[in-house]
């Protein structure tokens, strides 16, 4: 007689984690798992296992400190995240789970963040990751804050070929590229995950950024977009400006991120970077 799906499911998820991983990660909330997994297919269970593994990885040594995940957060991540197998979405759900593990019993903010993530398409999630990762790389040493005064200074120009390379579109997706980028950027903007954008051919982009050398995207970050980026990295309790911490927020290995032609549209920032590079070369 086959084992009930609850027993099989919990065992399959536990296999993705280290010793006593489920109990360490979830705390007492692990007792809720049986009922949640009762109707799950094998594929959904595998996806949950990957999300839990990502959460454990992001917690690092902190997984051995006291803490638990609120049941409401666990329910949302299991029900919504179990349908996601895209690597960026899995990583984000894992980060939200890791961010939600605290010693504050009623801190269930992660449930709302997970719902927002579930409402985004794969293209929107990956576009969000690419945009904020490039912003992090360009402005990590700027001293900027994610406040109202500095956010507009972090407006970025991304050449279209760089965006396409990071999105890893296949041939069929490229045939629908216009509709996909329209969907991705307008969707992020309508959800306040970016603070305005432009995209198009070189002549159009030059009207907004004269130093552009190719067709591309001009995009500005938002406070909410930075918050989602932090939660996706398992750092949801950090100040928003931590989203520029290139040393601590590591990039996904399987998502290419290139800086060729990527540039701040704020000329003052570009002058500062050029001066820093010149001084570094002189000291060498």
Q: What is the mean pLDDT of the chain?
A: 86
> What pLDDT does 134 receive?
98
Count of structural domains, the chain:
2
How far from 231 is each of 113, 270, 283, CA to CA, in Å?
Answer: 8, 29, 39
Rg (CA), the chain: 20
Last residue of a domain, one of 76, 93, 118: 118
Considering the domain architecture, whether residues 112 and 12 belong to the same structural domain is answered as: yes
Considering the domain architecture, whether residues 21 and 114 belong to the same structural domain is answered as: yes
How far from 20 is each of 43, 113, 171, 185, CA to CA, in Å?
Answer: 23, 27, 44, 42
Considering the domain architecture, whether residues 131 and 111 belong to the same structural domain is answered as: no
Name the token pair of 275. Answer: 């001066």
Last residue of a domain, one of 118, 135, 160: 118
Which residue would you say has higher pLDDT here, 104 or 109? 109
Residue 158 to residue 279: CA distance in whole angstroms: 26
Considering the domain architecture, whether residues 154 and 244 belong to the same structural domain is answered as: yes
Last residue of a domain, one of 93, 118, 143: 118
Name the token pair of 189. Answer: 């903007």
Which residue would you say has higher pLDDT here, 282 or 17? 17
pLDDT value at 284 more than 60:
no
Q: Confirm if 234 and 94 have CB atoms less than 8 A apart.
A: yes
pLDDT value at 37 more than 60:
no
> What pLDDT does 6 receive?
45
Domain that holds residue 51: 5-118
pLDDT value at 218 more than 70:
yes
Considering the domain architecture, whether residues 210 and 258 belong to the same structural domain is answered as: yes
Considering the domain architecture, whether residues 86 and 131 belong to the same structural domain is answered as: no
Considering the domain architecture, whether residues 248 and 110 belong to the same structural domain is answered as: no
Residue 83 to residue 283: CA distance in whole angstroms: 53
Considering the domain architecture, whether residues 114 and 126 belong to the same structural domain is answered as: no
Reduce the DSSP state of residue 17 to 3 states and report it. coil
Considering the domain architecture, whether residues 197 and 263 belong to the same structural domain is answered as: yes
Alpha helices, DSSP H, located in the chain = 5-14, 21-26, 33-36, 42-59, 71-81, 87-99, 109-118, 122-139, 160-167, 171-175, 177-190, 202-205, 223-232, 267-283
Please report, rounded to a whole number, the percentage of residues in the chain having pLDDT higher than 90: 64
Considering the domain architecture, whether residues 136 and 228 belong to the same structural domain is answered as: yes
Spatial CA neighbour of 204 closest among 195, 193, 212 = 212
CA 27 to chain centre: 25
pLDDT in tens, 121-158: 999 999 999 999 999 999 999 999 999 999 999 999 99
pLDDT value at 164 more than 50:
yes
Q: Residues near 66 by Cβ (< 8 Å), separated by ≥ 6?
A: 27, 103
Spatial CA neighbour of 263 closest among 140, 158, 129, 141 = 158
Considering the domain architecture, whether residues 202 and 215 belong to the same structural domain is answered as: yes
Sorting pLDDT into bands at 50, 70 and 90, what band is 74?
Answer: confident
> What pLDDT does 21 receive?
67
Q: Residues near 68 by Cβ (< 8 Å), separated by ≥ 6?
A: 26, 27, 28, 29, 101, 102, 103, 105
Which residue would you say has higher pLDDT here, 62 or 17? 62
Reduce the DSSP state of residue 167 to 3 states and report it. helix
């Amino acid at each position: 007689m086959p084992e009930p799906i609850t027993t099989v499911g919990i065992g399959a998820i536990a296999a993705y984690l280290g010793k006593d991983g489920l109990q360490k990660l979830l705390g007492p909330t692990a007792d809720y798992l049986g009922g949640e997994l009762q109707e799950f297919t094998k594929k959904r269970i595998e996806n949950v296992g990957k999300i839990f593994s990502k959460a454990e990885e992001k917690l690092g040594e902190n997984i051995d400190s006291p803490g638990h995940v609120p049941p409401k957060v666990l329910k949302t991540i299991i029900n919504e995240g179990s349908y996601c197998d895209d690597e960026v979405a899995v990583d984000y759900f894992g980060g939200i789970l890791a961010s939600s593990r605290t010693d504050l019993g009623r801190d269930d903010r992660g449930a709302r963040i997970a719902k927002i993530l579930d409402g985004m398409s794969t293209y929107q999630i990956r576009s969000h990751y690419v945009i904020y990762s490039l912003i992090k790389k360009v402005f990590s040493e700027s001293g900027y804050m994610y406040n109202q005064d500095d956010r507009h200074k972090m407006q970025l120009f991304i050449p279209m070929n760089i965006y396409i390379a990071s999105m890893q579109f296949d041939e069929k997706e490229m045939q629908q590229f216009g509709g996909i980028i329209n969907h991705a950027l307008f969707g992020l903007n309508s959800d306040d995950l970016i603070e305005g954008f432009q995209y198009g051919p070189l002549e159009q982009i030059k009207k907004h950024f004269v130093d552009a050398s190719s067709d591309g995207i001009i995009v500005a970050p938002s406070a909410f977009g930075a918050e989602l980026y932090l939660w996706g990295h398992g750092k949801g309790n950090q100040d928003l400006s931590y989203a520029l911490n290139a040393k601590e927020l590591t990039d996904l290995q399987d998502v290419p991120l290139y800086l060729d032609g990527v540039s701040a549209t704020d000329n003052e920032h570009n002058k500062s970077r050029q001066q820093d590079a010149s001084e570094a070369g002189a000291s060498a």
